[in-house]
Structure 1
Amino acid sequence: MVILIWICLLVDVAAAVFLLLSSMSSGQDAAGRGMVMLPILLLLGLAAISYYLMQKHSMGWSLAVSGLPVIVILYLLFISVT
């Protein structure tokens, strides 16, 4: 279960980094970059909470906190590819 939690944490952080890099490289104005910052902060916050819960040996809650954004990211990836 710990490996699954680490995978979810890595996906959350990778999605936050991808959003950050895509907002910096595109021709968005300040409002567009500002709207992208909330999901970035949420992803990083959930990853931090999940890591904290994992250190407190609450593996079920840690997986739930880090797994929910992963499910949403995978769904968005699925509908964007098909």
Structure 2
Amino acid sequence: MAVVIQYVVVRKGIEKMTFTSKQEADAYDKLLDSAEVLAELLEQAPVELSEEDREQLGLFLATEKEQVLAAFKGKVAPKPSKGKKEST
């Protein structure tokens, strides 16, 4: 019998993702932290967004961090990560 260590990222009591590496789990948890902060910022936007839309946009922006940072610097950003859809 094999012993498998798993790291589970849980948010609001909901299991989000399971990893076999603590480093990967920590990185994903940090991504979710960033997405949450961005969603809170979007709540202050001058446009009406539903909570789900804010969460999805926050996650998208956090996932595409390199492109967002490049855009703020006025630089050409790397290609976006296509097909990356995670639920929060």
TM-score, scaled relative to structure 1: 0.40
- Relative contact order, higher structure (CA 8 A, sep 6+): 1
Report which of the two has the higher share of helix. Answer: 1
Q: TM-score, normalised by structure 2?
A: 0.38
| Structure richer in strand, relative to its length | 2
